[in-house]
Structure 1
Amino acid sequence: MQKKPEVLSTTMIASTRLFKVEQLDLRFSNGVEVSYERLIGSPHGAVLIVPMLDADTVLLVREYAAGVDRYELTLPKGRIEAGEPPVEAANREIMEEIGYGAEQLTHVTSLTLAPGYLGHTTHIVLAERLYEKRMEGDEPEELEVVPWKLSQLDQLLQHEECTEARTIAALFLIRERTNNV
């Protein structure tokens, strides 16, 4: 097992509403000193929810993705608020984004994205036994809800609007978990 590098110093070099950029000065066990920059995301992480309308139908949303300047088919997602357990955040987010709550919520796994420079964790939550319930959210426009069959996941991957890696990973995990191949 390799020894983690020694942290010599950390310096906040930029800050926005969503992210902080931190410089991390490190010394590795071989004596080499290096400076890294990393993005620090929400301290509580985020949830990505797989809402299952039935055993084969997942509810996606089509929403504007500013990072790629287009609409993207993705799973409902959002930040976890301070003190809020991931499954509660998941239920709140689906009520806000797709107009459903879930009687059964299961934390499936947690994922990182670009861990070499992004300090952020996304908790994947399976939402089952949905019921209609809408809460007001913070979306700038109403999100289009798009039902999709997990048994047709291969067709979704060919869709030009479905490129978000966390969504793709979560759908494969759930398809495997539910044996819906």
Structure 2
Amino acid sequence: MTTSHDKLVEKTISTEPVFSGRIISLQIDTVELPDGSKATREVVKHPGAVAVIAIHEGRLLLVDQFRQPMRRCELEIPAGKLEKGEDPMEAAKRELQEETGYHCDQISLIHSFYTSPGFADEIIHLYLAEGLSAGEMALDEDEFLEVYEATLEECQQYIVEGRIADAKTIMAVYIWQQQLARDTESKEI
């Protein structure tokens, strides 16, 4: 299926700031639709974030922390928001060390993806950290979490149980599963 996306573009006519917080801001954009009519779009602006797939001795590093919007604890891969002007790769290394205490010898970008493009511009840069070595955690003063290491099978069960319910961590588990399957296939050849 081939389409010309130009005929789908909405032109921003005006932007009205509604809220500006420590992490996000909200604006209302008035747009002109492709047919010439007007509509409004609520847009959440976010500085972007990083997340890290870190496998230590065959186990995925996870952090368990309370998430206020969900009103419960959630197992997630180490992650955090980008600081203004911060390089995403350096942020990924920083978040891995701060939240788990681990350092890595190598880190590589797996993919960058938007979390909810219907209303937010948040982009997450997902990295794979390799060559891990233990160190000291350095949590933010308002951050409380516990570090877990889980096998692929345990992670899959946590997804079924709903203990892992966020998209970035589910994506990380599936990427890990695919990587293990490829490694197994190459050993069989």
Q: Would the TM-score normalized by the shorter structure come out above 0.5?
A: yes
Instruction: Give the distance between the partners of 1:66 and 1:17, measured in 2 at CA.
Output: 16
Alignment of 1:7-46 (within 5 A): 7-42=12-47, 45-46=48-49
Aligned to 2:66: 64
Q: Which runs of 5+ in 1 are unaligned?
A: none
Aligned to 2:187: none
Instruction: Give the distance between the partners of 2:179 and 2:77, measured in 1 at CA.
Output: 17
Distance of aligned partners of 1:11 and 1:141 in 2 relative to their CA distance in 1, 3 Å threshold: closer
Instruction: Give the distance between the partners of 2:11 and 2:144, measured in 1 at CA.
Output: 47
Q: What SS is found at the alignment partner of 2:56?
A: coil
Aligned to 1:52: 55
Q: What SS is found at the alignment partner of 1:157?
A: helix
Instruction: Give the distance between the partners of 1:143 and 1:7, measured in 2 at CA.
Output: 41
* Aligned-pair CA distance for 1:142: 4.2
CA contact (8 A) 2:53 2:129 kept: yes
Q: What SS is found at the alignment partner of 1:161?
A: coil
Task: State the 4+ residue runs in structure 1 displaced beyond 4 angstroms.
Answer: none
**Selected match of 2:104 from 102, 105, 108:** 102
Instruction: Give the distance between the partners of 1:142 and 1:20, measured in 2 at CA.
Output: 25
Alignment of 1:115-126 (within 5 A): 115-126=117-128
Q: May I ask how many residue pairs the two structures share in their alignment?
A: 178
Alignment of 1:129-140 (within 5 A): 129-138=131-140, 140=142
Letter in structure 2 aligned against 1:26: V
**Selected match of 2:115 from 113, 116, 124:** 113
Identity of aligned residues (%): 29
Aligned to 1:147: 149
Aligned to 2:80: 78
Instruction: Give the distance between the partners of 1:139 and 1:90, measured in 2 at CA.
Output: 19
Aligned to 2:5: 2
Aligned alpha-carbon RMSD (Å): 1.8
Per-residue Cα deviation, 1:79-133 (whole angstroms, up to 9, x for no partner)? 1223322121111111111110111101100111111101100010111110112
More displaced, 165-174 or 122-131?
165-174
Instruction: Give the distance between the partners of 2:85 and 2:37, measured in 1 at CA.
Output: 39
Instruction: Give the distance between the partners of 1:89 and 1:2, measured in 2 at CA.
Output: 33
Q: What SS is found at the alignment partner of 1:71?
A: strand
Distance of aligned partners of 1:21 and 1:53 in 2 relative to their CA distance in 1, 3 Å threshold: same
Instruction: Give the distance between the partners of 1:5 and 1:61, measured in 2 at CA.
Output: 40
CA contact (8 A) 1:98 1:143 kept: no
Distance of aligned partners of 1:176 and 1:28 in 2 relative to their CA distance in 1, 3 Å threshold: same
Q: What SS is found at the alignment partner of 1:50?
A: strand
Structure in which a larger fraction of residues adopt helix = 2
Letter in structure 1 aligned against 2:86: E
The alignment's TM-score, normalised by the length of structure 1, stands at: 0.90
